[in-house]
Amino acid sequence: EDKVVQSPLSLVVHEGDTVTLNCSYEVTNFRSLLWYKQEKKAPTFLFMLTSSGIEKKSGRLSSILDKKELSSILNITATQTGDSAIYLCAVARGDTDKLIFGTGTRLQVFP
């Protein structure tokens, strides 16, 4: 059965800290891995990764996919209170358009 596992489940840091969120997967016919940020409402799209080793970057957020290790990390540098959210990792299979989500990492950033 397809599986996406995120760790840690929860993370509490102070503003300015750097955090690394992990996502590992066991999915048949992998096509891409996506990261989303979920605050109170809709998950908002952060990155889509399809090729191993290529870093996607947007401001203080960056992500890398390791297809050999079947995993990805999401890094957030110089965290701010506005980064507090649940970060969701999802994997898309090549033979279907549905996404398989992990349960998320809850990040809390305190001033």
Partner 1 sequence: NAGVMQNPRHLVRRRGQEARLRCSPMKGHSHVYWYRQLPEEGLKFMVYLQKENIIDESGMPKERFSAEFPKEGPSILRIQQVVRGDSAAYFCASSMDSNYGYTFGSGTRLTVV
Interaction pattern, residues 24-43, with partner 1; x per rule: CB under 8 A: ----------x-x----xxx
DSSP 15: T
Determine which residue in the list 23, 91, 102, 109 makes contact with partner 1, applying CB under 8 A: 102
Determine which residue in the list 28, 44, 81, 108 makes contact with partner 1, applying CB under 8 A: 44
Residue 90 binds to partner 1 (criterion: CB under 8 A): yes
Residue 1 binds to partner 1 (criterion: CB under 8 A): no
What residues have CB less than 8 Å from 1, skipping those under 6 apart? Answer: none
Residue 17 vs 27, nearer CB to partner 1: 27
Contact between 60 and 20 (Cβ < 8 Å): no
Residue 49 binds to partner 1 (criterion: CB under 8 A): no
Determine which residue in the list 51, 58, 97, 111 makes contact with partner 1, applying CB under 8 A: 97
Q: How far apart are CA 31 and CA 20, in angstroms?
A: 23
Determine which residue in the list 77, 96, 108, 110 makes contact with partner 1, applying CB under 8 A: 96
State whether residue 26 is helix, strand or coil.
Answer: strand
State whether residue 36 is helix, strand or coil.
Answer: strand
Q: How far apart are CA 66 and CA 36, in angstroms?
A: 18
